[in-house]
Structure 1
């Protein structure tokens, strides 16, 4: 094992490893549950010795001290997807956001639009051949390591050995820090959800499940709506998964034989994903499990790859949908909230799939039923994530609106039907004023 001695020579302390980071570097951080928090914290600890270090990543978990005001001039964050832990810094102008599709982030690295100086990653220990798994997140990280000048790895025996295009050899690593700490977890549903909200999500999940056919291939994310959908799929047959990410909810459906992947027209028999956000239960389930095959986002999220799955059902959430079908999922007015993620990747992939169903799902209201999320117009300054030309199905707790191939008048009628009853007359009045509808239609009354 020639690689072993070389590997041992690369083992450093945290402080020694992060000393490789220099002023002016662009530092990529492994995202999600794979966030190498010990490396990140050690980097920030020496922040006063650094200037103009750009920290770049999608959604991470844990501390993000590098966006705090005292580190201005030392670190600046560039968010490729805005998470809760950096959102206030973006809003306050201490951090930046780069709008980009998840499928295209690797291209930014490879094309040197965003060259990477240092990649901080979190991986499994090497196997007998010297290969480490990216574990719970291949995502954009594999691409970052393919171009980074230096790769600093947090190596953890608790990181599962995920299979697929998901490995890096120790020869590629610049420095390694051995740790033995729990992988960061993200529960499926936030603990502060109310009973009323839970009922709304349950009804949305039921409405979506009703239009999922046996043999479909699914894209599901994390959160209350995907969880609700999964809870209504136990009587389905031969479902498959091709998704940028998944969480604990699919375990039971795999064990019950609902998710078999047998009818998939691409990678039959395999769950195809790029990363997971979940708990220790999920991490242990995917460890060395050949049903799972992980790939980078430039493959998993490529709309043309997605479209090779017949009966592809893509389920994505939104903040607002206007009466013509424009979907906002990344901002609240002028305030950037999240990012594009893989929404349009999968909406377009599913729309080109034979028998595919692209779905946008959202509760009908916000702020305790005081605001309609089926809106007359998107909030001024809000971004259009999914265009009115891309939208197909919109689902709320009140039903399913099928917008594809429909006129604006027909779209308005469909969307008012699934709006909260308290807002239907208001939406209708606006539509009449704007000449979207010719006359008042009594079916909209609550």
Structure 2
């Protein structure tokens, strides 16, 4: 670290209050995903809003944690700090419930593939400020975005962007294309706190059954992307006897980290970034964060690179594993709505569905339980009750606890029959009648 770097650091160091006072009262602000969201800066923004010093601050983000949920996204501040979400999770659902009770509109959600979020923020929204948590400055005067490179790096390179960074000694120093130089920074805040932890999703017998089926579709030497939740974790737990797996994934998970630690992943069969695991954000437990810290075998890159379907396809035998909420008899998937309301969002599902299938020998796998609501509703349905997330033209392999079906090359009638065979037996006759009634067998 040179004397110039240290001088610039000292010049930019501020209290959290001083730093957020640099943001106009009307602003378009972006923050990274989850563990990259800066708690001290967010708390100071919330206090400024309570003091009446913010008029209209639109805060753009994807996947919120309690850090924001208990500060800037306090219900009473939503007229001043407006959440603009590119995903929909627990914080947003809680806000929606409260707002619905008071006849207010739901949280604004921007439908967008994860790979397209950086361009949306820079080109279409025109954000003017980025707030983010970073690792301490390195010897070259750079700050690693650590576990949340996602869209933050691309936004940080927007000409004229206001960069307010929270330096946290507990943020892993992650290598890769994830660095912000001190010369670009507007203000720095120091705050050493623990990163948010994502508890392991509880699994059940159905998850384990599906995990075993999916793991049976994975071959030695495949390059993996795993989604979030109990199903992908169940798959990872069944891959511990595989060999020479690779990782090119949007989210680095505890399950994937376990495969790295076990030596199952060595990235030796990849065509890009040989020997290195690639991700764009991470969320999990402390052991995951420890693994990422200054690890030469793991790199973070921006999501418009990691989730670019063409980039994904450059590795042979790319395998994507994601979950969905509903599959219709044509093979289209709804991964976003429950009971007619926004429950989740598309994230990077379609990015990897298309990228994996485009790779030589690649497979896109979408899994779900056959039923919901304690067995009273079928997830295989005649027609979706929400938007199409992954179209019938894109779906490849569908898995439930009753098996799997490759939909590629199948006619509408063949798809309907294959999907009905994956449904719970209690619903198969009803689905068969619906398929006949809809003319799918004609």
Same fold (TM over 0.5): yes
| Residue 95 of structure 2: aligned partner | 89
Please tell me whether the aligned partners of residues 219 and 243 of structure 1 are also in contact (alpha carbons under 8 angstroms): yes
- Decide which of 1, 10, 33 is 2:35's aligned counterpart: 33
Please tell me whether the aligned partners of residues 58 and 83 of structure 1 are also in contact (alpha carbons under 8 angstroms): no
1:389 equivalent to 2:393? Answer yes
Q: Distance in 1 between matches of 2:225 and 2:256?
A: 11
Q: How does the TM-score come out when normalised to structure 1?
A: 0.93
| Residue 17 of structure 1: aligned partner | 19
1:300 equivalent to 2:306? Answer yes
Please tell me whether the aligned partners of residues 188 and 222 of structure 1 are also in contact (alpha carbons under 8 angstroms): no
Q: Distance in 2 between matches of 1:274 and 1:90?
A: 28
- Decide which of 432, 436, 441 is 1:432's aligned counterpart: 436
Hey, which bits of structure 1, 4+ residues long, moved more than 4 A? none
Please tell me whether the aligned partners of residues 166 and 191 of structure 2 are also in contact (alpha carbons under 8 angstroms): yes
1:135 equivalent to 2:152? Answer no
Deviation at 1:90, TM superposition (A): 4.8
Please tell me whether the aligned partners of residues 33 and 281 of structure 2 are also in contact (alpha carbons under 8 angstroms): no
Q: Distance in 1 between matches of 2:112 and 2:261?
A: 36
Q: Distance in 2 between matches of 1:44 and 1:176?
A: 18
Deviation at 1:256, TM superposition (A): 2.5
Q: Secondary structure at the match of 1:386?
A: coil
| Residue 441 of structure 1: aligned partner | none
| Residue 409 of structure 2: aligned partner | 405
| Residue 110 of structure 1: aligned partner | 122
| Residue 317 of structure 1: aligned partner | 323
Q: Secondary structure at the match of 1:306?
A: helix
Deviation at 1:255, TM superposition (A): 2.7
Greater Cα offset, 392-401 or 36-45: 36-45
Number of residue pairs matched by the alignment: 429
String of CA shifts for 1:234-278, please: whole Å, max 9, x gaps: 221111011001211223322322111101122111101101111
Deviation at 1:94, TM superposition (A): 4.8
Please tell me whether the aligned partners of residues 279 and 300 of structure 2 are also in contact (alpha carbons under 8 angstroms): yes
Q: Distance in 2 between matches of 1:390 and 1:405?
A: 11
Q: How does the TM-score come out when normalised to structure 2?
A: 0.94
Extract unaligned runs of 5+ from structure 2.
100-104
Q: Distance in 1 between matches of 2:94 and 2:212?
A: 35
Structural RMSD (CA)? 1.5
Q: Distance in 2 between matches of 1:89 and 1:206?
A: 37
Q: Distance in 1 between matches of 2:185 and 2:132?
A: 10
- Decide which of 357, 360, 364 is 1:354's aligned counterpart: 360
Deviation at 1:188, TM superposition (A): 2.7
